[in-house]
Structure 1
């Protein structure tokens, strides 16, 4: 799969108070009937605006993983859990951040972020799902909004100050639900206790969601207990233990709740194993020798159901190192055994493109798309393969539709900008790059790009009218964004 360089970080915003939250709430049009009347703290419309703002700033400041296969896997896992969760009144968005830290967090708008380090420490898909289910529960129970209302009642902080602290959280959202600076120790302790109750509630609801989704409920106490034991005396525990404390009572409580459910046998998930191998090969922050050593050590103790994924990971390392013959030796048998596996199709296509076998790459993807005509990853791969083959017009046709269907996907806009650049259509390139800038809250640059595009095309043309209309939309978005601060 095509890969792009990470966008540079830029300075985020200041806020009124010096502490931060990880925000967990919903962005739907109906309030959940739980807890306190959180609507008095934030309207649902404001939560939606904050969620969108947070995501745009994260794209600019954090190494958000844009790998389409991994994004698809995380979305599918998250939505499987959401489909079996209670009190869901908001759309959810799941994404990954490249970091070896063991952590996850949620914020306004139903966004849930997973650090790639979770895949390196979760031994099964059920363990990973237990973390995701916990974060989903924070969102469905509107823990941030309820915490804000509770804090507003106990401290002299104005609502404006509370909102300001939320904007500060953009700079470090994984800090977790923490206390706003309070004037008294009693106020601080009350906030800590409220947060602990939220964690306990998220565990309880998360375990129920795991059970309904067909995962092993024992995975939550197993994963949490292993982390607590491993880092009990560590001078620098992982971020997850700082933002989601694991006192012995909480681990015991999750174990007790899990024991109330019948024991189920959950088969090893091949997609989880493949996603994990892909992360080790490309997103673990280790060199090729270290990655190969890891795969070799795992292969020595792997059962037969795990070996295909581990060999797939090794093939990726060889491919990225330019050792195409070695990659073929591992990947070709995998493709032959599972010709419809999208992980294998993706990598086989990459091998074709690296070796300039453009017709083979395009044909492979067209065959796959006949079985899954609307599949996002296959559509992106085909657009990329067509570009590499010099068929930019065909690539632009696919990407124009793709970006219309998926306007929040940076991959589509990146490829479209490249395709327009290859074809010499400067206004189209500027417009596509403007959309990328807007997705990172770089409003002024985005507007300037569209102004340049409008000046290039014919006066009073349909393109100019479209660009000018988009300029007006972006100016309005910039105004709304600035008002949040």
Structure 2
């Protein structure tokens, strides 16, 4: 499979993921995951695992899903999926890095392309077995059945072996990539222990030689031996990761009972005996859960405790402030939200939250100016385009607002909806609803999206 074909296949799957109700673009968690993902990418480039061709042609996007299962997966063309359930069970950023490094290695080693090639190579063998079976049937029907069954079993076993070898290769290369990126190799072993616990609940009981993946215990033993040879130190939990994991836990468990259990955990008698990192994670989850339950009195009681737990740690204090601003927005107090966060920050969570608050407080022009600068360098940021659309609408600029809506659809690969919005913008321009430069941009973008839709039709 060529790199172009693999990229197109990945985009076809990614289009469906964007439409999945479980897909979530949480600015705080996306930024945190990217803070791990980008060093891994840089290390893969430095080691030669990520070639310039793949680096340029593939998407290299991580999509988050609010599913609470412990799972992550790689797709063709450099798309990766990460369930928040996996993020919520990790105790350190090194554990999360091990998962991302493993999935990254699946893509850099072209495992999906190699699987397709392997299947194509097996097809002539299967065809030959069918012909041989047909010839044998004229003499002995039992012999024909045996030949057909044997050929199918051999092909299936070869496929299983191929998949298991790929998993081992992704483990080995992923360990090297994460180590080169500055993460602790012990994260692989710790993550396998968590996967082993999850596997006990979902194991189908197959023998090791019938599994597509090697047994978790085998992989853990291999990673343990490699980690011991590296001579690196033990894992160091951080407050920032504890808060990120707590946020993932709340988003992936939206049920009322689950949220109340998180609030109760912060008031339990055993709370005082927890390590500081664990206390901070519990308090963050409890405060966020109370906000989602719309219990402002509980939020007001928990927020000072969270501030005290994160004192002295700049990264954790920032996440606590972002949560406080988010809660203020949910309570309808946009002015308080603006006072809480750094509105001059160039980081994505602050940018999006500040823009939303500025629009609500009559400062849409400020929001539009900063968002326009952002999307100029980050054109695939659908959330930023959507916020920009709201800012333009608040200023009475419908043509720019509709165009920004269209760009948000393009960022999520929904070209049909994007073309519909671009055509709506063209209609506004014909009625005199905007400047000529903006109308020209809309016409150009509409033609580009029409071309993308024609390509999709040809692929089908």
Give the TM-score of the pair, scaled to structure 1.
0.76
Structure 2 residue 409 is the aligned partner of structure 1 residue 434: no
- SS of residue paired to 1:463: helix
Q: 1:355, 1:309 → 2: CA distance?
A: 23
1:449 to 390, 411, 421: 421
Residues 121 and 243 of structure 1, relative CA distance in 2, 3 Å threshold = farther
Shift of 1:465: 1.6
- SS of residue paired to 1:101: coil
- SS of residue paired to 2:233: coil
Structure 2 residue 445 is the aligned partner of structure 1 residue 474: no
Q: 1:322, 1:390 → 2: CA distance?
A: 26
- Offset from partner CA, 1:85-141 (integer Å, 9 cap, x none): 331224432231111111111123322221111123333332222211211111221
Shift of 1:263: 4.1
- Could you tell me which residue of structure 2 aligns to residue 14 of structure 1? none
Cα RMSD, aligned residues only = 3.0
- Could you tell me which residue of structure 2 aligns to residue 347 of structure 1? 323
Query: 8 Å contact 1:383–1:395 — kept in the other structure?
Result: yes
- Could you tell me which residue of structure 2 aligns to residue 308 of structure 1? 280
Shift of 1:245: 4.6
Higher fraction of helix: 2
- Could you tell me which residue of structure 1 aligns to residue 245 of structure 2? 276
Structure 2 residue 359 is the aligned partner of structure 1 residue 387: yes
Shift of 1:447: 1.3
1:65 to 9, 24, 29: 24
**Which runs of 5 or more structure 2 residues have no equivalent in the other structure?**
126-149
- SS of residue paired to 1:105: strand
Shift of 1:385: 1.2
Query: 8 Å contact 1:155–1:187 — kept in the other structure?
Result: no
Query: 8 Å contact 2:389–2:400 — kept in the other structure?
Result: yes
Shift of 1:404: 2.5
Residues 221 and 356 of structure 1, relative CA distance in 2, 3 Å threshold = closer
Shift of 1:250: 3.2
Pick the structure with greater CA Rg: 2
- Could you tell me which residue of structure 2 aligns to residue 160 of structure 1? none
Query: 8 Å contact 2:23–2:64 — kept in the other structure?
Result: yes
**Which runs of 5 or more structure 1 residues have no equivalent in the other structure?**
1-40, 158-181
Q: 2:211, 2:326 → 1: CA distance?
A: 40
1:126 to 74, 82, 94: 94
- Offset from partner CA, 1:325-381 (integer Å, 9 cap, x none): 43233324655735773312212222443455444433444xx255x4x22222112
Shift of 1:46: 2.9
Query: 8 Å contact 2:106–2:170 — kept in the other structure?
Result: yes
Shift of 1:426: 2.9
Q: 1:80, 1:51 → 2: CA distance?
A: 23
